[in-house]
Amino acid sequence: MDQLVFEISTLIACVVLSAFFSGSEAALFSLTKSDIHRFSHSDSRRELSIIRMMRDPQKILITILSGNLFVNLVVSMLSTKLLLQVWHQWGHFISIAIVTPLIVIFCEISPKIIAIHSYQSASKKVLPLLRLFHVILYPIRALLLLFTDVLIRVFNLRLTHKKITKDELGVAVKLGEQEGIIGKDEGTFIKNVLRFSKKEASNIMFPRNSAVFMPQGTTIGEAMRLFLESNVIRIPVYKDDLDHVIGMVDSRDLIPYHLGFKRAKNINRFIREVKFFPASRELNDLLNDFLAEGIQMAVVVDEYGGTAGVVTLNKLLSELMGRDMTKWEDDSRHEVRKLDDNASIVSGGMQIDDFNQLFGDQLVSQNADSIGGYIIEKLSSIPKRGEELRTRKFVLKVRHIRKNKIETVEVIKRLDREELL
């Protein structure tokens, strides 16, 4: 009788310990890096103890798994023995059919679900008893670690550390903002950096039809007038046509000659070297090139070597910081005039990405960068004033066109417009 009581008591204790080990594993390994960072700056003894324990997660995992395996074996053996004493030949069948599922439900699944639901508080509550087992199971843990090290050396395995992806970082920033760990400004900056890393030169350049160029041989007076009208410091110089850019001119070199202190016939002697980059150049690499070589402005070329546009250091920094730091944006994303709740007027040179961001649309183009180019591409012709293109959300109406270039576009909410019609 005493032996039966002992066996039942041992069985119950092992069931509880099995649930304990399962819950401990779920709670401790649910702690995020932000939790660990917060615990490391805490005054709580338990939180600091968790930090020390999780510095080597491999050891604590071996302790938990070894303890869980041992108590589960004891539960299985004792339950089978007790069932055989009661039901004899049916004992094994009942143990497999009933006891095993109960162990899985009450010793594995349920404790883990409960622990994950409140993993921070659970990790603190399991700590004292887990530390005790961590000491008791030291010999077993040491042997298993030794065996693991031997396997790693024999099979020439390398420990790898998982790198966080850009998408995972974006999710982490969003969660940090929700929990108040990351401020709004910091979160916005990180998101800008992530967006920046995914873009190419073609996404932010000033297209050739909106950038300013001057031909070789331009007089000093004409050049200064162009600088003042365009409100820029540097302008690319071309020979024959825009696809043959030969350099650039800095307005500061021309000032003494424009004021009459020195004499020069034209800009040719002031042409400086200009750098060329492919339209597919990623912005991270492009910014590194600009900073490493002291570049302020470069010409972007397409896959055929023709001039696609111009990119400046200010434009790169504007994209990185998420705010306007350049004045060379006649057709910028900020050029929006609201007519009423259902309609706005935008520049035809507005970038498609900026349009999608401002209006919540999902326009995609294979060849065009601007909203005007998008309309021409979809209509397969140069539109006339008043001609319309319907998208999923809006009606894009051409308001003004000059020299085959769409200057302004009226953006009308499509549902509201259809109701009015």
Does some domain include residue 327?
no
pLDDT for 348 equals: 85
275-278 and 297-301: which strand pairing?
A: parallel
Query: Average pLDDT of 340-347?
Result: 82
- For residue 351, name the pLDDT band (cuts at 50, 70, 90): confident
pLDDT for 332 equals: 42
Is the pLDDT assigned to residue 17 strictly greater than 90? yes
Best CA proximity match to 270, nearest among 226, 243, 235: 235
Does some domain include residue 136?
yes
Does some domain include residue 94?
yes
Residues 93 and 27 in one domain: yes
Report the CATH number that the domain containing residue 415 is assigned in CATH.
3.30.465.10
Does some domain include residue 405?
yes
Is the pLDDT assigned to residue 335 strictly greater than 70? no
Q: What's the total number of domains in the chain?
A: 4
Report the CATH number that the domain containing residue 297 is assigned in CATH.
3.10.580.10
pLDDT for 194 equals: 76
Domain boundary pick from 255, 287, 321: 321
- State which residues form the domain around 233: 202-321
Is the pLDDT assigned to residue 273 strictly greater than 70? yes
Q: Which residue has the higher pLDDT, 309 or 256?
A: 309
Is the pLDDT assigned to residue 419 strictly greater than 60? no
Residues 28 and 145 in one domain: yes
pLDDT tens for each residue of 369-401: 788 889 998 888 888 888 999 888 889 999 888
Q: What span, in angstroms and rounded, lies between the C-alpha atoms of 411 and 272?
A: 42
Residues 231 and 373 in one domain: no
Is the pLDDT assigned to residue 327 strictly greater than 60? no
Which segment of 22-31, 207-216, 345-354 scores lowest on mean pLDDT?
Answer: 345-354
Is the pLDDT assigned to residue 329 strictly greater than 50? no
Q: What span, in angstroms and rounded, lies between the C-alpha atoms of 330 and 370?
A: 13
Q: Are the C-beta atoms of 143 and 34 separated by less than 8 Å? A: no
Is the pLDDT assigned to residue 39 strictly greater than 90? no
Query: Average pLDDT of 171-179?
Result: 68
pLDDT for 231 equals: 81
pLDDT for 420 equals: 40
pLDDT tens for each residue of 72-109: 999 888 888 888 887 777 777 777 778 788 888 988 99
Q: What span, in angstroms and rounded, lies between the C-alpha atoms of 249 and 100?
A: 82
Residues 147 and 175 in one domain: no
Is the pLDDT assigned to residue 177 strictly greater than 70? no
Q: Are the C-beta atoms of 203 and 323 separated by less than 8 Å? A: no
Give the chain's mean pLDDT: 83
Query: Average pLDDT of 351-372?
Result: 82
Residues 116 and 15 in one domain: yes
Q: What span, in angstroms and rounded, lies between the C-alpha atoms of 383 and 401?
A: 8
pLDDT for 22 equals: 94
Residue whose entry in the numeric block shows the structure tokens 């990185």: 320
Structure tokens at 296: 């302020």
Which segment of 46-60, 189-203, 245-259 scores lowest on mean pLDDT?
Answer: 189-203
Residues 70 and 38 in one domain: yes
Domain boundary pick from 121, 154, 187: 154
pLDDT for 261 equals: 67
Residues 216 and 358 in one domain: no
Residues 314 and 403 in one domain: no
pLDDT for 6 equals: 87
pLDDT for 275 equals: 94
Enumerate long-range contacts of 296-299, CB under 8 Å, 24 or more apart.
Answer: 296/233, 296/234, 297/234, 297/236, 297/248, 298/274, 299/236, 299/245, 299/274, 299/275
Residue whose entry in the numeric block shows the structure tokens 């900073």: 291
pLDDT for 333 equals: 41
Query: Average pLDDT of 182-206?
Result: 79
- For residue 298, name the pLDDT band (cuts at 50, 70, 90): very high
Is the pLDDT assigned to residue 276 strictly greater than 90? yes
pLDDT for 211 equals: 87
Query: Average pLDDT of 294-322?
Result: 88
Residues 14 and 107 in one domain: yes
Residues 252 and 184 in one domain: no
pLDDT for 311 equals: 93
Query: Average pLDDT of 185-192?
Result: 73
What's the one-letter identity of residue 291? L
For residue 133, the SS3 value is helix
Using a pLDDT cut of 70, give the percent of the chain over it.
Answer: 87
Domain boundary pick from 294, 321, 348: 321
pLDDT for 331 equals: 40
Does some domain include residue 160?
no
DSSP classification of residue 205: S
Is the pLDDT assigned to residue 50 strictly greater than 50? yes
Does some domain include residue 328?
no
Residues 413 and 269 in one domain: no
- DSSP sequence for 258-319: HTTSS--SBSGGGPBP-EEEETT-BHHHHHHHHHHHT-SEEEEE-TTS-EEEEEEHHHHHHH
Residues 36 and 177 in one domain: no
Does some domain include residue 93?
yes
Does some domain include residue 331?
no
